[in-house]
């Protein structure tokens, strides 16, 4: 019986255990102890590569980071927030937590990132701009922020997004949950907008078991995120609160694990990139298998290596491949249902979405945990090739 190959699991290969033990020995279980500060220092050092000092605030999840960053960037109930159609639901949920309504724009076909063209069209065709910023003409609501996503370890063209945001006077909060370690024009991506949000969820490139962080060059914004994450406590002795906060603090145990993982980031990025390169080479000639192209502005970590399966040319669709691989102990996963198709999300407005639907219909993420061996990658490649059935049509199952 061959061992199973999971999609993307934690790899505690460094000091994680030692650091967690240090917490246990010193009773640093909750919010006391050095590891939260150490994680924040690692992040502010990593993201300060543009020369500007960067503030990092550790929080309990990437979702919490997005929620607080949007509030701190000025998103208020009844506003609108622009999001790409293809992302994990946490992106859009964060806007809804603020009482804001998402506006969904399409992604571009080559790199699957937010489409600057679709974004620009929304502002040009559907908004008016005055001293206060942009307003959606149809709904009358203020468009407060753009929430671009750096998808699957690849950077979106954040300079283009920020140029549009500046022109129409809206804030940019980056969802960089999947992009720890990703480069944009040679620098770490995520610290260019008003705030960048990261996730240390279990399947992310660096994990704390759970966790997240907000990174920003704006000291006031960082202080506000820290304040809101700690129940907006104004007087720690008298428990005085002047506004509604949240319990979004990161426990020290999770921080300790994440500190150990952050030390390994260069190793993890290198391994993810090598796994991706091996898949590309191994699957290059399989009819009906396509890949995301790496844009010239980024060095992708290939956090979750994802292929496109053309059912006509490959001979099976992505769900059939998912099931056949699962039967062999190989875990794969389709991408998320595009956001505009989810009725629970209550979107305000939706541009024409073509590319996101098409990518979603064909995409399948392949196993790419950093501890995966070359032999295991080859086993997945061989299994995919075996399933290729170019002349068999779709009537095989």
Give me the residues that bind ligand PLP (CB under 6 A), please. 61-63, 87-88, 90-91, 149, 175, 177-178, 199, 201, 212
Which residue is associated with the tokens 């939706």?
350
Kindly tell me which of 133 and 208 has the beta carbon lying closer to ligand PLP.
208
Kindly tell me which of 182 and 199 has the beta carbon lying closer to ligand PLP.
199
Kindly tell me which of 106 and 178 has the beta carbon lying closer to ligand PLP.
178
Give the shortest CB-141-to-ligand PLP separation in angstroms. Answer: 23
Give the shortest CB-75-to-ligand PLP separation in angstroms. Answer: 16
Q: Encoding tokens for residue 279? A: 């898949």
Give 243-298 as a DSSP string.
S---B-PPPHHHHHHHHHHHHTHHHHHHHHHHHHHHHHHHHTTSTTEEEPPPPTTE
Q: At what angle do helices 265-283 and 252-263 cross, to 10 degrees?
A: 60
Give the shortest CB-222-to-ligand PLP separation in angstroms. Answer: 19
Question: Where do the DSSP E strands lie in the chain?
Answer: 55-59, 80-84, 101-105, 127-130, 133-136, 142-146, 171-175, 183-184, 187-188, 195-199, 212-216, 233-235, 240-241, 289-291, 298-299, 306-309, 333-334, 349-350, 363-365
Give the shortest CB-115-to-ligand PLP separation in angstroms. Answer: 16
| Calpha distance 227→213 (Å, rounded) | 14
Kindly tell me which of 62 and 133 has the beta carbon lying closer to ligand PLP.
62
Kindly tell me which of 179 and 222 has the beta carbon lying closer to ligand PLP.
179
* Residue with smallest beta-carbon separation from ligand PLP: 62
Kindly tell me which of 203 and 357 has the beta carbon lying closer to ligand PLP.
203
Give the shortest CB-225-to-ligand PLP separation in angstroms. Answer: 15
Give the shortest CB-29-to-ligand PLP separation in angstroms. Answer: 20
Exposed, middle or buried by CB within 10 Å (0-12, 13-18, 19+), for 353? buried
């Amino acid at each position: 019986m061959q061992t199973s190959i999971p999609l993307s699991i934690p790899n505690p290969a460094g000091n994680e255990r030692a650091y967690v033990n240090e917490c246990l020995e010193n009773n640093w279980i909750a919010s006391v102890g050095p590891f939260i500060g150490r994680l924040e220092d690692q992040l502010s050092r990593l993201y300060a590569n543009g020369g500007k000092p960067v503030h990092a605030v550790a929080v309990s999840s990437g979702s919490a980071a997005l929620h607080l960053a949007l509030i701190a960037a000025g998103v208020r109930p009844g506003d609108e927030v622009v999001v790409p159609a293809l992302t994990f639901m946490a992106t859009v949920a964060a806007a809804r937590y603020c009482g804001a309504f998402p506006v969904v724009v399409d992604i571009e076909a080559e790199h699957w990132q937010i489409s600057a063209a679709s974004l620009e069209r929304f502002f040009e065709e559907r908004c008016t701009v005055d001293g206060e910023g942009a307003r959606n003409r149809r709904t009358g609501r203020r468009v407060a922020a753009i929430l671009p996503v750096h998808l699957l370890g690849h950077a979106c063209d954040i300079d283009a997004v920020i140029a549009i945001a500046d022109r129409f006077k809206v804030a940019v909060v980056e969802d960089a949950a999947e992009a720890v370690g990703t480069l944009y024009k040679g620098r770490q991506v995520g610290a260019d907008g008003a705030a960048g949000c990261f996730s240390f969820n279990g399947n992310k490139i660096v994990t704390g078991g759970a966790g997240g962080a907000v990174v920003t060059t704006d000291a006031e914004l960082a202080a506000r995120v820290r304040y809101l994450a700690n129940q907006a406590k104004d007087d720690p002795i008298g428990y005085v609160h002047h506004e509604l906060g949240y319990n979004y603090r990161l426990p020290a145990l999770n921080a300790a694990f994440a500190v150990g993982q952050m030390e390994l980031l260069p190793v993890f990025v290198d391994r993810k990139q090598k796994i991706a390169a091996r898949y590309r080479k191994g699957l290059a000639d399989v009819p009906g298998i396509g890949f995301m192209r790496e844009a010239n502005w980024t060095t992708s970590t290939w956090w979750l290596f994802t292929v496109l399966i053309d059912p006509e040319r490959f001979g099976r669709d992505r769900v059939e491949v998912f099931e056949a691989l699962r039967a062999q102990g190989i875990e794969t996963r389709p991408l998320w249902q595009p956001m505009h198709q989810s009725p629970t999300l209550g979107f305000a407005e939706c541009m024409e979405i073509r590319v996101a639907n098409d990518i979603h219909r064909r995409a399948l993420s392949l196993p790419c945990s950093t501890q995966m061996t070359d032999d295991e990658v080859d086993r997945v490649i061989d299994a995919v090739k075996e399933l290729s059935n170019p002349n068999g049509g779709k009537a095989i199952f």
